[in-house]
Every structure is written in structure tokens, then in C-alpha cells.
Amino acid sequence: MQAFVVDAPGDPSVLSLRTVPDPEPAPGWVVIEIAAFGLNRAEAVTRAGGSGAAVAFPRIIGIECVGTVVDAGGTDLAPGQRVAAAMGGMGRSYDGSYAELTRVPRATVFPVTTELDWVTFAALPETFFTAWGCLAATDSLTGTPRVLMRPGASALGLAVAQIVNHLGGEVVGVTRSDHKRAALLEGGMADVVVSAGAVEAEVRRRWPEGATAVIDTVASDDSLTDGLALLVEGGTLCVAGSLAESYATAPHASVRTVFEREDVTFYSSESLNADTDTTTLQQVVDRVDGGVYRPGVAEVIAFGELPEAHRRMEANAYAGKVVVDLSG
């Protein structure tokens, strides 16, 4: 099979496309022929060496995909079945989705019933699982939440907006790029604040009482301080990863102390499990199929364009989900 292999951490040029052996069947592991997969900031972090000891190189990175089962590894799945695979240790502890085939544990495989095209389906798993998890962690899956999303110009931000809008709530997104404002408003955000700094005062003009929840994937000292100041009493700030290379880097070391606060929580994909989360993905797929949610695909690229897509992702060129299409 063809795969992008990272032999050692580095810039996007370390993504090396070459022929490697197909993954061999193994009990309890599912071999999937990949039809498409979404691009994620976490993969750039891993590629650059920011995932630490959790990743041994060489590695095929990539934390999600959709496709069909080739070998079910003696599990309850069947060859030809349409599935998604996402997160857990995918692309870190074991080889991931930057390939034509992948082999992953049954616990990270989500069989769903859908007629969505592969590109649309591929835009959903990691993004909507994370959005759903962050909103659940902040008690924002009921009522009419007011959620600040930082940064807003991401596939995650657009997914959060879709879910919250369906509840009758509002999402305000933060972006540093004025040219992304229109796309975020079109994607369902109630308002967009263009700022590289504090936004509390501007957001309170719309929500004088403050936000019931803040989702922060930047996780800098300044962004967390600003987000916490905006919360209503009883509100929660959820940290979902970090755009920093690592929480261990010096500028972000003090961020760890924030996690001790009762009004701060952390979403981790390590908690995902097919036994409990397949129903969530099926619900998301059904709502996309019914026009309730929109996947927010920013661009569809060919497999060979991955290194350039990493360069553009690091330059913050995208406002939405980039999907790699192998289905043709």
C-alpha cells in the first residue's frame, strides 16, 4: 500500500510517501480500506514531535478515517461494512490513517448506517466527537447554552456551532483573521470577534451576563484568564488539546495549575469507546443527513497533497475541515 511515513519529527517535508507492507490481520484488530480522512491539527503536533514519548518513530500518523472493513479480526464486524475509526492511540501508539489501509483496535471502530458520501462522512468523526465531548463536559448539551469558542476558525468551532444552534443556544467565535469572519457567520456562529488578545469586554456587549461555557484549544495563560473571566457563576471552561506544540513547553507550563480549578475541565479523546460512542456518531450522521448539522468542509484534497496541506494548516489558512479523498 501507499502511505505517508514520518521517520523522525520535523516540518511537513518529513511526510514521506512510499510503498509499505499492508497491515496484517490480527485478532481483535480491524483492517480498514480507507476511503477518506479528515486533517487535524493534532497530526501536525505529532509530526513535529510534540506528542512526546507517546509516539515512537517511524510512524504513519493520522487520527481518524472512514472506509470499509477488509478484515474484522474475529470481532462482531464484517468485511465490507462501512465504518469510521477515530482517536484513541490511532496514529500515535500504532499506525494511523495517512495510508490506503489501516489496522486499528475494535474499540476505536464505529460502525454506522449512512448513505453520506465519503467526503462528508470523513469530515465528522474526530470533529463532532470532540465538539460533543466538550459540550458534554461543560453541561452544554441541554438548555440554551452561550458558548465562547476559541479559536472559532476551526472545524471544531463550526461543529460546536451546529450542535448549540440545534439546542437554540448561541456560539461566539474568536479569530485573529478578519477574512475568516464571513465563513464563521455562514457556518452558524451568532457573532465573531476578531482579536489576538482579550475579548471579554466585547463579548459581554452581546452577553452581559457572560458565557455559560468556554471551549479553548489555544490554552495559553492569556486565553484561559480571559475565558475564565467571562464565565457566569457555575459555568465551565473546557480545554480541548492545545495549539502549542506541547503542554510541557515553558510558556505553557503554568497552564497545568489551571486544571485544578473546579470550573475547568479537559476533553480527551482517550475516553472514546465504540461500546458507548457509536450511538453518538450515528446521531451526528443522521442529523447531517437530515440537514440539521452541516459538516463545514473547507477543502477536499488528494492524498498526495498532504505535505502542502500541513504547511497551509500551520499557516492557519483553513477555516473548517480539510478532507483527504482516497475514494476515487
Phi, psi of 150 (to 5 degrees): -130, 115
Q: What is the distance in angstroms between the CA of the first residue and the CA of the last residue of the chain?
A: 15
DSSP per position, 47-81: HTTTTGGG--SSB---SEEEEEEEE-TTSS--TT-
Q: Which three cell numbers stand for residue 162?
A: 451546529
Phi, psi of 36 (to 5 degrees): -170, 160
Q: What is the pLDDT of residue 106?
A: 97
DSSP tag of 94: B
DSSP per position, 237-296: EEE---SSS-TTSGGGGGGGGGGGSTTEEE--GGG--HHHHHHHHHHHHHHHHTTSS---
| β-bridge pairing 109-111 and 146-150 | unpaired
What global pTM score does this model have? 0.91
How far is 218 from 239, CA to CA, in rounded Å? 8
What torsion do the CA atoms of 285, 289, 291, 295 make, to the nearest 10 degrees?
Answer: 50
Which whole-number Å values give the CA distances from 122 to 16, 119, 307, in the listed order?
Answer: 23, 5, 19
Q: Which three cell numbers stand for residue 157?
A: 468551532
Q: What is the pLDDT of residue 245?
A: 43
What torsion do the CA atoms of 144, 230, 194, 168 make, to the nearest 10 degrees?
Answer: 0
At 158 the three-state DSSP class reads helix
Q: What is the pLDDT of residue 246?
A: 45
DSSP tag of 89: T
How far is 101 from 67, CA to CA, in rounded Å? 9
Burial of residue 328 (number of CB atoms within 10 Å: 0-12, 13-18, 19+): exposed
CB 326 within 8 A of CB 2: no
Bridge partners of residue 15, in order along the sequence? 6
Write out residues in the chain with pLDDT < 50, as ranges: 243-251, 253
| β-bridge pairing 15-19 and 82-86 | unpaired
Which whole-number Å values give the CA distances from 214 to 151, 162, 260, 263, 264, in the listed order?
Answer: 11, 16, 16, 10, 9
CB 231 within 8 A of CB 214: yes
pLDDT tens-place string over residues 52-107: 788 999 999 999 999 999 999 999 999 999 999 998 889 999 999 999 999 999 99
